[in-house]
Amino acid sequence: MAKQQNTQAAEMILRVDKESKLLDFLLEKITDRSKTKVREILKGGRVVANGMATTAFDYPLKKGDEIRILPKVKLMQQGGISNSNLDILYEDYDVIVINKKEGLLSVGTVADKENTAYHIVNVHVKKEGRNRHIYVVHRLDRKTSGVMMFAKSMAARDFFRNNWNQVVVERSYYAVVEGTPAYKKDTIKSYLTEDKMLKIHSSFINNGGQYAVTNYEVLSSNGEYSLVKCNLDTGRKNQIRVQMSSIGNPVAGDAKYEAKTNPLKRVCLHAATLQFIHPKTRKLLKFEVPVPGGFYKIVKEKNE
């Protein structure tokens, strides 16, 4: 049975009495900590300025602004999940963050309700109590690996569902795509629709589909394959896969979206980073998992 955490200190609330930069203000007001410790508090996402977490040293303050210094939040002490398809990265009483392996469904289908991240994590959470369970706030494609989060309370679920674009600060993916994109750095904007065969189609003309925005940067290329980093402004089904294919550079291994090769016997797409504001503490949390080594190997091998 999980044991509830003890906070180390109470929350501190400060009022700004004159225009200043955030770090300068904190250094002036927090006199019982060293300058290094004050910087660590800010860098660690424990500062909330006017209701929004920030780590910016030069965040501009004006008279009357409210600054909250949040206490440290410790990870709950409890057993992990014994399953080869996922690992727990973080868990508290509001959220649980996992590293999902490729091939595992995020949530159930009519054909498969138990071999899913949702089912595995839900069984784990129910150990805390009969009425405990998780809520879906976003998903990863079955063929995509990486960082994924579930809410553990209705309040946390509603916080994410109602404020997703404001509270999810970063979602970055790494992909190996076929060929070399025409631009080293670009933004793909298109409208996505789904056909009866559950395949997503991308149109650069507004056809009534869901608007999708992916920012990508080519990190390395050998002509045959390129390693790209993608940051999402929107989170649509199969978004990166269909949009990279739409510019002529499908994700390697993704036959559904026109890939012609499969060097790693998987779709070469990985959710590496998830950064979000915690629904209760408003602390900025960031989780990163390593990019599969095979992604780098594909590009490097062809260069040698």
Q: Are residues 258 and 182 in the same domain?
A: yes
Q: Give the pLDDT score at 131.
A: 75
Q: Which of 2-16, 22-36, 67-81 has the lowest mean pLDDT?
A: 2-16
Q: Give the pLDDT score at 238.
A: 95
Dist CA 220 CA 163 (whole Å): 35
Q: Give the pLDDT score at 5.
A: 36
Is residue 2 one of the residues assigned to a domain?
no
How do beta strands 86-91 and 284-288 pair?
unpaired
Read off the pLDDT band of 109 (50, 70, 90): low
Q: What is the CATH number of the domain that holds 129?
A: 3.30.2350.10
Q: Are residues 113 and 198 in the same domain?
A: no
Is residue 177 one of the residues assigned to a domain?
yes
The total number of structural domains in the chain stands at 3
Dist CA 138 CA 117 (whole Å): 12
Q: Between 50 and 201, name the one with better pLDDT.
A: 201
* Gap between the terminal Cα atoms of the chain: 53
User: Residues of the chain with pLDDT > 70: what percent?
Assistant: 88
Q: Which of 30-44, 87-101, 234-248 has the lowest mean pLDDT?
A: 30-44
Read off the pLDDT band of 187 (50, 70, 90): very high
What's the average model confidence in pLDDT over 201-228?
95
Q: Give the pLDDT score at 1.
A: 30
CB 205 within 8 A of CB 220: no
Q: Are residues 119 and 97 in the same domain?
A: yes
Dist CA 289 CA 140 (whole Å): 15
Is residue 74 one of the residues assigned to a domain?
no
Q: Are residues 102 and 176 in the same domain?
A: no
Q: Residue 223: which domain range?
A: 172-271+296-303
Is residue 288 one of the residues assigned to a domain?
no
Q: Are residues 161 and 176 in the same domain?
A: no
Is residue 139 one of the residues assigned to a domain?
yes
User: Model's pTM, two decimal places?
Assistant: 0.73
Alpha helices in the chain (DSSP H): 22-29, 35-43, 117-125, 154-167, 239-246, 293-303
How do beta strands 225-232 and 210-221 pair?
antiparallel
C-alpha separations of 86 from 57, 63, 106, 293 in Å: 36, 47, 11, 18
Q: Are residues 258 and 177 in the same domain?
A: yes
Q: Give the pLDDT score at 113.
A: 57
What are 275-285's pLDDT values in tens digits? 999 998 888 89
Q: What is the CATH number of the domain that holds 37?
A: 3.10.290.10
8 φ, ψ (degrees, to nearest 5): -80, -25
